[in-house]
Amino acid sequence: MKSKLTAVALAAVVVAGTAATALPASAATAKAEPTRCLIADLEAGFAMGDGAKPEMGQTENQTQAYIWFTNKSKRTCTLSGFAGVDMVGAQTTDGTWSLARSSEAPTKMTLEQGDTVDFSITLLPVAKSTPQKEKFVPATFLVTPPNETKHFTLKWPFGGQILKQDGATRPATYLNPIGQ
């Protein structure tokens, strides 16, 4: 019985030893895949270019605001999925509105040092004459990168009001995945 166990143990060592030497030499020198971007790797802000500003003065159609993330670290990292976005209102009746996600499928974005990627928030502006209880007046946005727990606090720079639908199952104000 002892020789049978010794033979099995010896066979296991031989197989394990063979497996360890069976790796190609290129695998040992291959560059590791980038890991996800951490909040410490990123900067964030609202896109302010002419085509990026939401049309908050009109009230007939949805419009888009864009938030960007820039990789400020010295390493390559990835972002995938949806940011978390909570709008904090300027009116005492607004409170905080956690934006719903679109049905768009996210893609993985790889950011080299200095690269920027954005995502859009679709908004439904309303007229100033809309009753206060039906409008949300944005003041700040709490933006959490995907898979993070800390957020950036961004001041809303565009003015205007949004149709308040914070309890709706299919709101006209929602966010899209990173890169869209």
pLDDT by 10s per residue, the chain, length 180: 444 433 444 344 334 444 444 445 445 455 678 999 999 999 999 999 988 999 999 999 999 999 999 999 999 999 999 999 999 999 888 999 999 999 999 999 999 999 999 999 999 999 888 898 899 999 999 999 999 999 999 999 999 999 999 888 889 999 999 999
pTM: 0.81
pLDDT at 30: 59
Domain boundaries, the chain: 35-175
In angstroms, rounded to a whole number, what is the distance separating the alpha carbons of residues 93 and 107? 36
> How far apart, in Å, are the Cα atoms of 68 and each of 23, 57, 58, 61, 168?
41, 23, 24, 23, 26
CATH topology of domain 35-175: Immunoglobulin-like (2.60.40)
Q: Sign (positive/negative) of CA torsion 176, 147, 37, 151?
A: positive
In this structure, is the dihedral angle defined by the CA atoms of residues 46, 48, 54 and 58, taken in order, positive or negative?
Answer: positive
The tokens describing 132, both together, are 């206060």
pLDDT digits (tens, 9 = 90+) for 28-42: 455 678 999 999 999
